[in-house]
Structure 1
Amino acid sequence: MFKFDEELFLRLVETEGLAYRSQIEEIVDGICRKGYSNIFMIGSGGTIAMMYPYEYILKSNSSIDVHAEIAAEFVVMNNKHFSKDSVCIFTSVSGTTKETIEAIEYCKSRGATTFALVAEPDTPITKLVDHCITTGSEKHSFDTFFILLYMVVFRFMHNRNEFPQYEQFTKEVALLPRAILDAVKAFDPKAEAFAIEHKDTDYHMMVGSGNLWGNTYSYAMCVLEEMQWIKAKSIHAAEFFHGTLELVVEDTSVILLKGEDETRPLTDRVERFAEKVTKRLTVIDTKDFAMEGISEEFRKHFAVSINWALLSRISVYLERERNHPLTLRRYYRKMEY
């Protein structure tokens, strides 16, 4: 596949990524023995978006009190649910994100437990937090983080006696990298076709819900806007009919992300509407992919990883077709603001 090294992907995500299971369990088990009041999942940009699926999973499957918070807002808002007994979870590719560092310092100054997943070793975040797993590579870091976060949140649930299927679940997590690889291979021609068709499209609506809302928000803002300078709007499927629908016309690009959790009827409703109005509806549905060896019970959770990997294939083809490097920035980390 174009700009995709299968061997490297499997080494980083499957061989090395899955090997962190015992370290994650040791960290989570220690936190649980110590006791905690709630979990804060904190990030900036793509890393707060990454937390939204796991907030959704915990809220819909566990009684654990969980809060996903934007780092810069969290530091100034005086959240009354936050205390020294909170567990604060962070992710960072660079390990240097200013707002995330400030949030970690804020949490530590108040005695809370901090735990981070970081790609780049020996960076400020790796040295600040109480517990850190450093994956060592920026490449495929989001794919790896997603898998590690499954292990983190479901271990917390298991330790609360809310997830007796934990052992089976982790066996199926181990199958996920191959399922991702199969999915991206199957989707690749569609990703290329999308990029060719939409290389000059100047506005996209992205719609999603449930545990895919984070991917919806992230792809619109962090990829289409930040990395490709294309105007985009992320719209929650539950809110689509409370304003946004009035902007849909025959040539509006609507990208609909469909998963397999309880909120699927919300995206079904958007699809029924959009296919009547626009000729430029793109539906990316995780049900179209086999996920070999993954049980029906867990498919809805793993849809997060599958969906993100599929979107990433669109990214590389947009980069090629638009001659616009994904690394190009005008302002981000280029100037003071």
Structure 2
Amino acid sequence: MNSKEIISSLLENVKEKGGIKQIFLVACGGSLVDMYPAKYFFDSESTTLHVGMYTANEFVYATPKTLSENSLVIVCSHGGNTPESVAAARLARARDAQTVTLTHNDQAQLIDYASHNILYAWGNDTNVVDNPMAIILSLCVEVLEQVEGYASYADFQRGMEQINGVIARARLQVSDRCQRFARRFQDENLFYILSSGASYGHAYGFAICSLMEMQWLHAAPIHSGEYFHGPFEVTDKETPFILLMNEGRTRAMDERASDFLATYGEKVEVVDAKELGIGVLPPDVVEFFNPVLFYSIMCEYRSALAEIRQHPLETRRYMGQVAY
């Protein structure tokens, strides 16, 4: 079943019970990062539906009182056996919520608690719209369209058709600059990652997953709009910043940060979605696709950094190695 059919089926399940009123996006780590664009989308476009985004253990320990048969809970776990995510899905089903689970593992425990499970594709050769971030965003667009109506629905579908081509061209465009970035920053121990809008979640994800988890480097995300309310005081010629510059409504915040960093910083890497060609997407939906582009492009950056540092992305000292 595709996203449209899944949401239609779930809405039919609760048709006589008052319908879907809340959507909860629940996961851990990188899977939670994949949900941020969908939360931003709902916050921006919905007038009646309420959305919450939770790390799985907090969803279990501090469960929203509104969790009920009128809730849709989307739970994502790449391996499908993350204990916290499995517990969250189990709780959702116990509260009679409708659940959509996403995993890459067809034997995952998570599937046991799914109203519908989506087994997604993975790997560098997959179409980006078949990866979790785009799938979750697509599911949420379908919820809005079928519950409230969404004026830009057709434009969103056009964006889904275009984004893979944009990413393919952008990967070629950044190939050399990723190598230059890796050579320049290979000996740094700390990075600040800035972005705004739908992409702030990926600034967070690149910090905690790509740099902290996969490279054992210190990193912190900063919202471009918050940069001037405290964090800019650490800006100097020695501190590395990576700015993910969006196309769309929040671009002005990223540009303001870029201007300041160009004046007072020196070790600055700007990754600009507009310069990478995302502007071919319809302007009323382009902002929701910025993080889909950034995820793929920043994978190229982290791979180049890992290679030059001789620190493979799969290396772990705690995760899956010790009791925690």
- The 5-angstrom pairing of residues 16-165 of structure 1 reads 22-33=1-12, 34=14, 35-63=19-47, 64-137=49-122, 143=128, 144-165=131-152
Shift of 1:73: 1.0
Shift of 1:292: 7.8
Distance (whole Å) between structure 2 residues aligned to residue 103 and residue 140 of structure 1:
31
- Runs (4+) of structure 1 exceeding 3 A deviation are 136-143
Alignment RMSD: 1.8
- Greater alpha carbon shift after TM alignment, 262-271 vs 183-192: 262-271
Number of the residue aligned with 2:226: 239
Q: 1:266 aligns with which of 232, 247, 253?
A: 253
Task: Read off the aligned partner of 1:194 and give its amino acid letter.
Answer: F
Task: Read off the aligned partner of 2:31 and give its amino acid letter.
Answer: T
* Gap runs ≥5 in structure 1: 1-21
Task: Read off the aligned partner of 1:66 and give its amino acid letter.
Answer: V
SS of 1:270's equivalent in the other structure is helix
Shift of 1:243: 2.2
Number of the residue aligned with 1:171: 158
Distance (whole Å) between structure 2 residues aligned to residue 308 and residue 162 of structure 1:
29
SS of 2:181's equivalent in the other structure is helix
Distance (whole Å) between structure 2 residues aligned to residue 179 and residue 142 of structure 1:
12
Number of the residue aligned with 1:229: 216
| TM-score, normalised with respect to structure 2 | 0.92
Shift of 1:124: 1.1
Q: 1:318 aligns with which of 278, 296, 305?
A: 305
Shift of 1:89: 0.5
SS of 2:284's equivalent in the other structure is helix
Q: Aligned pair in 2 of structure 1 residues 296, 261: CA closer, same or farther (>3 Å)?
A: closer
CA contact (8 A) 1:93 1:141 kept: no
CA contact (8 A) 1:120 1:138 kept: no
| TM-score, normalised with respect to structure 1 | 0.89
Shift of 1:191: 1.3
SS of 2:229's equivalent in the other structure is coil
Shift of 1:218: 0.4
Shift of 1:268: 1.8
Distance (whole Å) between structure 1 residues aligned to residue 80 and residue 70 of structure 2:
24
Identity percentage of aligned residues: 26
Name the count of aligned residue pairs: 316
- Greater alpha carbon shift after TM alignment, 247-256 vs 296-305: 296-305
Task: Read off the aligned partner of 1:178 and give its amino acid letter.
Answer: G
Number of the residue aligned with 1:217: 204
Task: Read off the aligned partner of 2:87 and give its amino acid letter.
Answer: E
Distance (whole Å) between structure 2 residues aligned to residue 139 and residue 111 of structure 1:
37
CA contact (8 A) 2:155 2:284 kept: no
- Greater alpha carbon shift after TM alignment, 139-148 vs 223-232: 139-148
- Greater alpha carbon shift after TM alignment, 222-231 vs 232-241: 232-241
